[in-house]
A and B are shown apart, each in its own frame.
Chain A
Amino acid sequence: MDTSLLPNIYEFISNTYPFSQLSALEKDATATKIQISYHSVGDVLEDEQLAGAGLFMIRTGVVEQRNKDNTLRARYSAGDTFGYTQIDKVGTSDYKVIFLENTLLYLLPKNVLNFLIEKNQAVGQYFNAKEWVRLSSSHNYADELNANEKGSANKLIENVCSKELAIVDADTSICQTAVKLGEKNTDLAMVMNGDTLEGIVTKSDITLKAVAKNMDIHDPISKIMTTDVTTIDAKNTVFDALEIMVMYNIKNLPVIKDGKIYGSVSTTSLLQNSQLQAVYLCQEINRAKTVEKLVELSHQKQEIFKTLVQTNVKPHTIQKVMSHIADSFTIACIQLAEKQLGMPPIDYAFVAAGSLARSEVQFLSDQDNCIITRQPIEKPSDKEYFEKLATIVTQDLDKCGYTLCEGNFMASNPRWCTSLSQWKEYYSSWIANTTEDAILSSSVFLDMRCLFGDKLLVKELREHLIKTANENRRFLATLVSISLAVAPPLGTFRQFVLTKDGDNKPYLNIKKQAINLIIELARVYGIAAKTIATDTYDRLTAAMQADLIKEDDFKELKEAYTFLNHVRFKHQLHAINHNLPLTNNLNPDDLTQFERNHLRDAFRIIAKHQKAAQFRFAPGRGI
């Protein structure tokens, strides 16, 4: 049949993921197999109406799914699909479907769906019954795509350099050299004497040394060339090239291979790679001599974040890179402060807490930090030293865009600038006298990572925490119950939402309502698995290795976490590009059908693991 006769149905299917991935022919075949039914408010589908039926698509209306125990499973509205997980069931279904509005429902029968799954890879992947497989197939991250792309800083120069050579000799005129540069479309001319490199001339040399000084453009190029040329061997890495460029402040390097001129590299070409851009920034941070310089450099953070998201780098890598940059700023600020105040009177560690401790910094993160000293700070002069140090560092970080922590969880707060023994006491008291308030007011310090100074201090404190926590099971139970106070927004349709912003517009807070919940679960599992790691992925890995969670659980949580961060970063990128305020609040209207479907999967995973954790860590139960 001519599908142009069914433009509405055809268009609807074409816009419903994953059928949007079908070929025109497959779409035709699909459109002509649809069965349409109509349901009014309060109607119910269950058991044989669902089991083995096929895939349901909501054309108009709203439905909800309820589990057998009558808890909410999900809500769906126009454009959503459901029923796939019941396709191989017979007689009884896992859930029932209740119609909340009058609903026009399309059914793609089981046999047609199975045919499409077999024929079309995108559809096949999408309809894998496991949520995490669906989530993991939802994106191909740039840094996973191609093993060769990994660690681009370690790529060899010969693979990235330009092989266009503008070769002149010492007698070539300035004018002819300029022409040659234009012809070869390169920035660097090599002045050769046979096989020997006598000197180099860059485009800016011609501008600044010749034109700006009113030289005769027919003078020989040797007059303005740079002798004593720094070169790099083609077998060196991109990172080596950057080192040299940064160290000697040069923008173009001739590349030598087997003793002969081979090509050239420039900073601009190397820095088009987002991760190198970050490496380069960190080096500049390390070399900065003043806070003003640091502040100036801090503006690059946003560009790097943008490039990372745009080039589709894995969310985990983005967080690591952004954390590495934050680390560099913090260390630079501390070093500048020490230079100003003199050497510290006691051994200490400057410690990151919160998201930076987990290496999960993102664009909105404020600063959370503390100081641990080896001995108690007793002398007034010592006290003064650390107070000053902490104040300078936290203020400078604020200037660099890491805003002061509203809860004052910072080293500049005397309470959080104290000795190892005092810190141990803090932990012991939080853990022993567990109350939700005590934990809420200190949970940011449950994650710690040493940024500067004596790493052993932090390690010792982490081990103390792990040990004490595992001796007091009630502590973990309390952590779980605090986390469970927030549930992922399963009941989402149209407005995703449970919260309203200042303008009374509904939104989804992807951090509070989803991402944090996984972080918190991972923290509890990490502590129970006795790992001092703080990274969410590392904690989950440790929990799997300690047999606290199964491999499938690990994959579920990992993929959900990755996907949630992906969505968050993508929306933040959008905000940056449109000059909107950066938030963790997503407007449901901005979400694609694709994102909504996958978010629902992620929420279901979280809800499931919240339940599992509640059971496992229930007071009175052994781990």
Chain B
Amino acid sequence: MLKLLDVTKRLEHKCHKFADSKKCPNELKSYYFKELPSASSLLKDLEIISLDFETTGINPKEDYILSMGGISIVKGVIDFQTSFHYYVNNSKYIKKDSAVINQITPEQLQQGKDPKVAIKDLLDKISGKVVLVHCQFIETNFIKQALNLKPRAPLPFIVLDTMNIERKLTEHSSGKQDLRLSAIRQKRGLPEYDAHNALVDSLATAEVFLSQLKDVYGNKPKYLSQVYKRSH
């Protein structure tokens, strides 16, 4: 249990070590020296940033981020004023078929942020915070790729994952689990969001997260360490 409580301390330690090493580019060091929330924090006292990327595919080495969207949960409430969304100017890489799925046009991308600026702006927002995603590998691997980091490098924020939480909630039930966001929402009676963009999906993820917390903890206090454990 002591170990679990220390989960964020361990990450912080890794981050500091990484920042002191040669592997860490100079311009990223300040992010890695940020203090992380303690594992014994209550969730309601933390800002949790739900994050979603739209990408051209799932392989960070071949594919690119098209847009980033996010929204924060503050004091247990999703607050629209914190929402953000921008396109990333990877227009030269856009594939025809993914453009159809994502409804993003090359024109929109051309008006988007430069990829380097976009990832830095994102780190400004999320470093030292708690980040919520659905299926963490996509977002974390794309961030590492965008920052030119090795796959095993740490990231300077704590990640919670609604997909893993859902998997652990349902792993003992019979039948095949459908862990897609839309399927989980349907199962939980949340409204169907047929639109697809990074902001809507980050909102959809945040709502699922609130619903999962109610399921697991009811109205009892929720500690970061417990939820972290269910996310990994």
Contacts and interface: CB of A to CB of B under 8 A. Distances in A.
Contact of A1 (B83, B190, B194, B200): B83
Interface of A: 1-2, 5-9, 31-40, 43, 59-61, 101-102, 104, 107
A36 B78 contact: yes
A101 B203 CA distance: 21
Given A35-B80, A38-B211, 20 more contacts: A1-B84, A1-B85, A2-B85, A5-B199, A7-B195, A8-B193, A8-B195, A9-B80, A31-B80, A34-B80, A36-B210, A37-B76, A37-B210, A38-B214, A39-B214, A40-B214, A101-B189, A102-B189, A102-B211, A104-B207
Contacts of B195: 7-8
A33 B189 contact: no
Interface string B155-197: 0000000000000000000000000000000001111011101
Interface residue tally on B, bucketed by range: 20 to 34
B214 to A, nearest CB: 4
A60 B211 CA distance: 12
B14 to A, nearest CB: 33
B207 to A, nearest CB: 6
Contact of B78 (A1, A7, A32, A35): A35
A9 B52 CA distance: 18
A150 B207 CA distance: 55
Given A5-B199, A38-B210, A102-B214, A33 B190 contact: no
Contact of B69 (A5, A33, A104): A5
A9 to B, nearest CB: 8
B107 interface: no
Contacts of A2: 85
A59 B189 CA distance: 11
Interface string B51-86: 000000000000000000100000011111101110
A108 to B, nearest CB: 10
Determine chain A's interface SS by DSSP, over half rule: mixed
Nearest to A7: B195
A38 to B, nearest CB: 4
B26 interface: no
Contacts, number: 68
Contact of B191 (A8, A34, A37): A8
A165 B215 CA distance: 80
A39 B188 CA distance: 12
A37 B77 contact: yes
Nearest to A37: B77
B81 A33 contact: yes
B207 A38 contact: yes
Nearest to A5: B199
A107 B75 CA distance: 14
Contacts of B80: 9, 31-36
Given A38-B214, A40-B214, A104-B191, A32 B83 contact: yes
Contact of B190 (A9, A37, A60): A60
A42 to B, nearest CB: 9
B85 to A, nearest CB: 5
A54 to B, nearest CB: 12
A36 B81 contact: no
18 contacts: A5-B85, A5-B200, A7-B195, A8-B191, A9-B203, A35-B77, A35-B79, A35-B80, A36-B206, A36-B207, A38-B211, A38-B214, A43-B219, A59-B191, A60-B189, A60-B191, A61-B189, A102-B214
A5 B218 contact: no
Contacts of B197: 5
A523 B199 CA distance: 59
A15 to B, nearest CB: 13
A40 B78 contact: no
Given A8-B191, A8-B193, A102-B189, A40 B85 contact: no
A59 B206 CA distance: 15
Nearest to B208: A38
B218 A8 contact: no
